[in-house]
Amino acid sequence: MFLLASFVCGFVFGLGLLISGMVQPAKVLAFLDIFGAWDPSLAIVMGVALIVTYFGYAIARGRGAPLLATRSQWPTTTDIDGRLILGSVLFGLGWGLVGLCPGPAIEALVSLSPAVIVFVAAMAVGMIGHGLWERRLAAPAQKALTADG
């Protein structure tokens, strides 16, 4: 049930990206092109998605535990730090260059476009690379801790 529910959520999310036009990089770039022939459609996508999620989350919070799991895993991080800012800048650079963010990029794999496959492969490398980089940053600190202890 848990896995089926997750599949359905992914499916509905995918339909939303498809119908809204977010899977088409040209449409996304037209939204980002506010100094050109601006297409505001994606502002509506985001606005409506936000309104639905805002009220739906209020219901979820009011219910307490989710239906198929023991507890709700609401994000707990609140830091507004250099990582958040620099990470968002890097993401914005890539998004603006190509017009694909992670969800639409994965979904667009279905087109079997070689360029989309290259994009998602590079995105996976970037994610794995970030994990390795974090581990490298964390390692000396841990060594220091054990040395002190």
Partner 1 sequence: MVEFTPLSAAVGGALIGLASVLLMLLLGRVAGISGIFAGLLVSGGEERRWRGTFIAGLLAAPLAAAAAGYPMAMPQMPSSLVLVAAGGLLVGFGTRMAAGCTSGHGVCGMARLSPRSIVATLVFMATAIAVVAVTRHIL
Does residue 138 touch partner 1 according to CB under 8 A?
no
Options 79, 141, 146, 149; binder of partner 1; rule CB under 8 A: 79
Q: Which is nearer to partner 1, 13 or 139 (CB)?
A: 13
The pair phi, psi for residue 136, each rounded to 5°, is -65, -40
Does residue 141 touch partner 1 according to CB under 8 A?
no
Spatial separation of the C-alpha atoms in residues 73 and 70, rounded to whole Å: 10
Q: Which is nearer to partner 1, 66 or 144 (CB)?
A: 66
Q: Which is nearer to partner 1, 53 or 142 (CB)?
A: 53
**Total residues binding partner 1 (CB under 8 A):** 114
What type of residue sits at position 14? G
Does residue 137 touch partner 1 according to CB under 8 A?
no
Spatial separation of the C-alpha atoms in residues 95 and 132, rounded to whole Å: 23
Measured CA angle at 47 (ends 41, 42), to 5 deg: 20
